[in-house]
Amino acid sequence: MASRRSAAASRAPTLAERADKHKIYQLAVQSPEADIELIQHFYRSRRRRNAWRLREDFCGTALTLSHWVAQGPRFSGEGFDIDPDPLEWGREHNMAPLGHGAKRAILHEADVRDPSVESPDIRCAFNFSYWVFRTRDEMLDYFTRAREDLAEDGMLVIDVTGGTDSLSEEPYSSKVSGFELVWQQRNFSPVDHSADLTLTFRFRDGSEIDPPYRYSWRVWSIPELLDLLRAAGFGDIDIWWQDDDSEHGYRKTRKGANDSCWVACIAAFR
C-alpha cells in the first residue's frame, strides 16, 4: 500500500495539469489582432475614420482590449465581465506587460448591461458570448442599454453562427498548437433553441482540463437579432459574412450563403 502511495505521489503531472487554462482558451478561440483589424474595417466603412475607444463585453482575460490599447496613446477602452478569475489573470498577464499603457484600460467586474465610464466608439461581444441572454426581453434589454451607452456615432458589433451544424449535438474538434479543442452542444431544444455547450481541451497524452468551460445559451438567428436591434433603436445595420477570399476575410451581404456552418458579424450603428 505504501509503495502505491509513493508511486502516485511521484507520478509526473499530466499536460492538462501543467496547462494554464486561460492561456489555452486564448490560443483556442481568440485572435485579437484580426478582430481589431476587422472591427475597425466595419467602423470605417460607415464613419470614414478610425475608432479610438473600445468596450469589450464578456471580456474574460481582456486579451482583445489589451491589444487595442497597445496600439498607441490615443487608444483606450473598458472591459466588462462578472467572473473575477479571468479578469485577475488578464490584469497580470495581458495588462501589466503594457506598463503605463495599461492605465488607458479599465476592467470592470460587473454585468455587461452596466454603463461605461466613458462612451465607446465600438462596443463588441464576440465568441457568441451574448447568447447567454436566452429570452427576447433579456436580449432587447442588452441591446437597448448598449445603444444608449455608445458614443453618438458608435457601433455595436456581435458575431453569430448558424447552419444545420449549429443545431447539432455532434462534437466538433479542431487542432490547436499542442492540444485539441472539442466543442459539443447538448440538450438542444428545437422549441426555444436553448442548449448547453462545453469546450474541452484535450492534450496528446489523453488528459483534459477539468472542468471544461460550460455555457447555457440560446442559438439565435440573424432575423431574430436584427428585429431586436431595430427594436432597440439601431438604424443602420450591416451584415458581414465570413469569406476567406474577401478583404479582411468578410464581405458585406444582404443574403449570405446557406452552408451547413457559417459565421457572420452584425455591425449596428447608433
Compute the chain's Rg from CA coordinates.
Answer: 20
The answer to whether residue 8 scores a pLDDT higher than 50 is: no
**The predicted structure's pLDDT at residue 211:** 74
Q: Average of pLDDT values for 166-177?
A: 92
Amino acid at 51: A
Dihedral sign from CA coordinates of 110, 186, 17, 203: negative
Chain segment 91-150, per-residue pLDDT in tens: 999 999 999 999 999 999 999 999 999 999 999 999 999 999 999 999 999 999 999 999
More confident residue, 5 or 220: 220
Chain segment 15-54, per-residue pLDDT in tens: 999 999 999 999 999 999 999 999 999 999 999 999 999 9
Chain segment 200-223, per-residue pLDDT in tens: 999 999 999 977 789 999 999 999
**The predicted structure's pLDDT at residue 178:** 87
Going by C-alpha positions, the residue among 136, 200, 141, 189 that lies closest to residue 167 is 189
Residue with cell 433553441: 193
What are the structural domains, with CATH classification, of the chain? 17-161+219-269 (3.40.50.150)
**The predicted structure's pLDDT at residue 177:** 85
For the chain, what is the mean pLDDT? 94
**The predicted structure's pLDDT at residue 213:** 87
- Terminal Cα distance for the chain, rounded: 69
Amino acid at 93: H
**The predicted structure's pLDDT at residue 210:** 79
